[in-house]
A = this chain, B = another copy of it.
């Protein structure tokens, strides 16, 4: 139907123009120059020691509370292997990150979906589920700039969640890859800062350094981290020392601060353009304006056929991810827009195509 260039609102990835390629190249050079043995030789499953120390200092914890992995999804996999058995109940947000849902299902976990609200998971609904007999072993929570929800968990809810976890003996898995890309509002305390016993925290350098580097980490109680280190040793001996040493140099040289400033400023603009264009071109859409991160979640009027919208958008050269992909059921009139990899011009154009597709339904 259209000859225009395709636009993707689908992929949660940065565009190359906001990646600090030259600084990364310099960091790689410095890593081989400064610590050839640390970079080239076998490490251990705890990760590259200087980077582990940097992370521990950032979080104000002992190094023994940190494991650095090949990306944070690998960290999730290790945590799930350590903490869960088939049949265990796991609280997930609805909607939530599709890959996490798939991993948990593959492990045979029984998922308990709890709806997201504008300020994060509906804690009252979780309380009600527990009162009705749910016995979760773990709750997977994405606190900041939710993927796909775009929302951020309020402080009050963070406090209620850790109190609930303590009371009912479940583990909170605080999955926080976007935290450092806040471009509006004030940072909130991490749940692991509110309760160091019942929370394991995951973060990643994919959104601040670059995704191809595959470096993520967990912070948690030292005994649990030690068990996870054993699993990691048995899986791959050690993660990539080369990747982790590059990140370490990048963090310690100050390259990180510049990179985060670049990413924040670009994403702020992209998010603002997206919200403005949606209000103007597709006023039927309701959404929470993001305070950071990559994603915005759109609800269209009930009854909107998301599958048909997906096809109509594709015919106009626009890709997005259907809301239903992030939910165990429902979500058919919702969609996720990733604004991280598109320019303001592409965003205006893309929203135009989305509105056009919607009107053609």
Contacts and interface: CB of A to CB of B under 8 A. Distances in A.
Interface of A: 11, 13-14, 16, 19, 21-22, 24-25, 28-29, 32-33, 36-43, 70-71, 73-74, 77, 99, 102-103, 106, 210-214, 234-243, 245-246
A41 B15 CA distance: 8
Contact of A242 (B42, B106, B213): B213
A238 B210 contact: no
A70 B16 contact: no
B234 A214 contact: no
Contact of A236 (B14, B42, B73): B73
B21 A40 contact: yes
Copies of this chain, whole number = 2
A235 to B, nearest CB: 5
Contacts of A38: 212
Contacts of A245: 212
6 contacts: A25-B28, A38-B212, A40-B211, A73-B236, A212-B238, A212-B241
Enumerate the 6 nearest inter-chain pairs by beta-carbon distance, A residue then B residue, closest first: A212-B241, A25-B32, A40-B210, A28-B28, A214-B240, A42-B211
Contact of A237 (B16, B71, B238, B239): B71
Given A28-B32, A102-B234, A106-B234, 16 more contacts: A22-B32, A24-B32, A25-B29, A28-B28, A38-B212, A41-B211, A41-B212, A70-B239, A71-B237, A73-B236, A74-B235, A77-B235, A99-B237, A212-B238, A214-B236, A242-B243
Nearest to A24: B32
A186 B301 CA distance: 72
A177 to B, nearest CB: 12
Contacts of A28: 25, 28-29, 32, 242, 246
Nearest to A238: B214
Contacts of A243: 240, 242-243
